[in-house]
Amino acid sequence: MEPHAEIVVVGGGIVGCSLLYQLTRLGISDVVLLEKTELTAGTTWHSAGHLVVLEENPAVARINALSFGIYSRFEEETGESIGLHACGSLQIAASRSRLERLERLLPKMQALGHSCRMVGPQETAELFPLLDPGGLLGASWAPKEGYVDPSMATQAFARLARAAGARIHRQTRVTGLEREFGRWRVETTRGSITAEHVVLATGMWAPELPRKLGIALPIVPAERQYIVTEDMPEVAALGRELPILRDYDAPLYFRQERRGLIMGVHEPHTPYCFVDGIPESFGQELLTPDLDRGAACIEAGMRLVPAFARAGIKRVICGPTSRTVDFNGLMGPLWNHRNLHVLAGFSAGVGQGAGVGRLMAEWIVKGEPSLDVAPLDVARFGPYATISYMRQCLGEAHTYGSFDAGKERAAGRPARTSPLYHRHSAGGAVFVASNGWECPAWFRGAAAPTAAAAVAAEQAAALGACGIADISARTVIDVAGPGAADLLVRLVGPDLPAQAGACVERGVLLRGAEPRVPVGIRRRGPEAFAVTAGPECELRLLSCLQMLAPEGGAPAVENRTGRSGALLLVGPRSGAILETAAARGFKAEACAAEIQRDAEVGFAPARVMRRAGFAADAFEIEVPSEYLVGLDEALRRAAGGDGLSSIGMRALAALAARSETTAAVA
């Protein structure tokens, strides 16, 4: 084996081979792929290979469309066949809720340029003649969807990459990773190789190597099954290829396979496999089928496609696949480990493989992908996403297509909480989860039982006297030491806060082509800053700062998220309440906007700052986390009676919006 490569890709499934090919397209020929057994082993070779574009998340839909476009032009552009079948797909609706969900989805997809439309039961049956349309309310019809042959596509990517100079080593298992002298040393069963970048495209095996480096990737292996029928005269007589048929409420899918059908069998619970670890010898094996656990799904398929009930079973495929809690894969650089990347965990690995391979190659070579990849970003989950967390979440929504991305989930909670969590809960708080944090959205009360009424009441209470909000769920990262200011200039531009305690807020592009996010920069000293952002930004911001910092030197980048808490007082009485709770001599009127100053509030050493941007006077009080409960009590005592009302994130957002409206009118 060669001693060095610019980039090492670990994993020879369709995702790894796609990345290898895309790297060579960008001019990187000094790239090596390491595969522990044979190309397509693990999950690729037995995949159904579906290409789905329809997706409720627009960013994921764009990635799907990119992937479909690459596949659809691949043979013409390269001369390589990948077994493409652009047969279209139907997603049926047998319930009013599913029909409405599809009707909401299609205009979004059409706005992205995806050719799709709603069809009635009769046209659905014309498109899929084996279907019994009884009970159907309609369907979505996407003519630009289909499937590819996973093995053909993988081998085509590999051949083209080899022809461009990439090297592929099969039967080469990676046994360890170590960072030394600014490079990665990749230990394998055939010796070691060093590289500037390493990409783990190892599917369900992806958690193994990062675990040794202290990072737990939220991927679990699960079983998936499908039935392949014998030849069916009803299929043979059609004279054209059937589209893919999906029923996410059953859930199931049908697809033509030569003169028969494939039916995807889904169980009422997630069938985990390899719960004690994946055997070292596992490669291109299958698992033991168990159709009994999918009996309800099979019966639904027989009712939906009566000819399926008469067909003989040619074989049953049961193999492993990767699952994350939201069914999206993981991609991007890992925090705390420079130039170590992940591209794994894709439930739709074949369908998205061409697209995510291109985007990951762009990310490494050009510094950012050309599309927003935030829904797939490996940094969207933190250490709270343990095995128990994943199993709870997958127990709530275990099947691809059943997860509603816009719905607040009950599973996997609470994970991360403020010290005031139980006090908020007893006070009627309704929480939303953000990166594992429980954030009070609004407070339920007898006079305001609905969210809208509660938010209105909280705004009125704040504008009439004072509201108190727990804003502890936020990202806090310290950047300190020689060069700290220069590093932050590269992040947000030259306008850094000049004096100690001062704060500025800027919109920052953290990862790839995702939208800019608000990031606060607070100067603690000459070369010391606190960088703050919303809780969902934590690991993306940490990774971004670590990549900007020189390796092994100053300045130091330290994640302090969760170590400090903060309360926000908003309202005309906020200054008076703060003065009463603070040590003698503290004057609220002396606090300049967006300038932190040290103070003693109650028994807590605090940093106090007057906040701009709200429809009333506002003060932020930051303390070490262990002082937060005492601070809350001190402020409530100082307020006396009913002078201080708990308010949630929605009321805060509304108060900020009112301030913006007032400023615009003025």
Give the tens place of pLDDT for each residue, 195-236: 999 999 999 999 999 999 999 999 999 999 999 999 999 999
Question: CA 229 to CA 238: how far, in whole Å?
Answer: 16
Using pLDDT thresholds of 50, 70 and 90, give the confidence band for residue 351.
Answer: very high
| Strands 89-93, 138-142: pairing kind | antiparallel
Q: What one-letter code names the amino acid at 490?
A: R
- Of 22 and 664, the one with more pLDDT: 22
In the chain, % helix, strand, coil (3-state, to 5) comes to 35, 30, 40
Using pLDDT thresholds of 50, 70 and 90, give the confidence band for residue 659.
Answer: low
Give the tens place of pLDDT for each residue, 422-433: 999 999 999 999
Using pLDDT thresholds of 50, 70 and 90, give the confidence band for residue 583.
Answer: confident
Give the tens place of pLDDT for each residue, 33-67: 999 999 999 999 999 999 999 998 999 999 999 99
Question: With 90 as the cut, is the pLDDT of residue 481 above it?
Answer: yes
Question: CA 611 to CA 228: how far, in whole Å?
Answer: 64
The kind and range of the H/E element at 357 are: helix 349-366
Using pLDDT thresholds of 50, 70 and 90, give the confidence band for residue 585.
Answer: confident
pLDDT at residue 400 in the model: 52
Q: Six-digit token pair at 351?
A: 């369908």
Cis peptide before 414 (omega within 30 of 0): yes
| DSSP structural state of residue 377 | B
Question: With 50 as the cut, is the pLDDT of residue 557 above it?
Answer: yes
Burial class of residue 144, CB neighbours in 10 A (0-12, 13-18, 19+): middle
pLDDT at residue 339 in the model: 96
Residues of the chain with pLDDT > 90, as a percent, come to: 85
pLDDT at residue 29 in the model: 95
453 dihedral zone (left: phi>0; alpha: psi -120 to 50; beta): alpha
Q: Is 330 helix (H, G, I), strand (E, B) or coil?
A: strand
Q: Six-digit token pair at 468?
A: 């108190």
Question: CA 605 to CA 422: how far, in whole Å?
Answer: 23
Phi, psi of 411 (to 5 degrees): -80, 155
Q: Is 535 helix (H, G, I), strand (E, B) or coil?
A: helix
Q: Nearest-CA neighbor of 261 among 238, 242, 275?
A: 242
Mark 64-103 as b/e (b = at least 16 C-beta within 10 Å). Answer: bbbbbebbbebeeeeeeebebbbbbbbbbbbeeebbebbe
**607 with 659: CB under 8 angstroms?**
no
CA distances from 185 to 150, 198, 337, 365 (A): 31, 9, 13, 20
Q: Six-digit token pair at 76?
A: 């013409």
* Across 179-191, average pLDDT: 95
What average pLDDT does the structure give for the chain?
93
Q: Nearest-CA neighbor of 168 among 149, 154, 153?
A: 154
Question: With 70 as the cut, is the pLDDT of residue 276 above it?
Answer: yes
Question: CA 429 to CA 422: how far, in whole Å?
Answer: 9
Using pLDDT thresholds of 50, 70 and 90, give the confidence band for residue 128.
Answer: very high
- Of 632 and 394, the one with more pLDDT: 632
Nearest 5 degrees, angle CA 336-CA 337-CA 338? 115
Give the tens place of pLDDT for each residue, 288-325: 999 999 999 999 999 999 999 999 999 999 999 999 99
pTM of the entire predicted model: 0.93
Question: With 60 as the cut, is the pLDDT of residue 124 above it?
Answer: yes
Question: CA 434 to CA 416: how far, in whole Å?
Answer: 9
Q: Nearest-CA neighbor of 666 among 591, 618, 615, 595?
A: 615
Q: Is 652 helix (H, G, I), strand (E, B) or coil?
A: helix
CA distances from 525 to 479, 482, 497, 596 (A): 11, 11, 10, 12
pLDDT at residue 641 in the model: 77
pLDDT at residue 268 in the model: 86
Using pLDDT thresholds of 50, 70 and 90, give the confidence band for residue 662.
Answer: low
Give the tens place of pLDDT for each residue, 379-391: 999 999 999 999 9
pLDDT at residue 665 in the model: 44
Question: CA 63 to CA 55: how far, in whole Å?
Answer: 10
**149 with 262: CB under 8 angstroms?**
no
Place of tokens 């390269």: 78
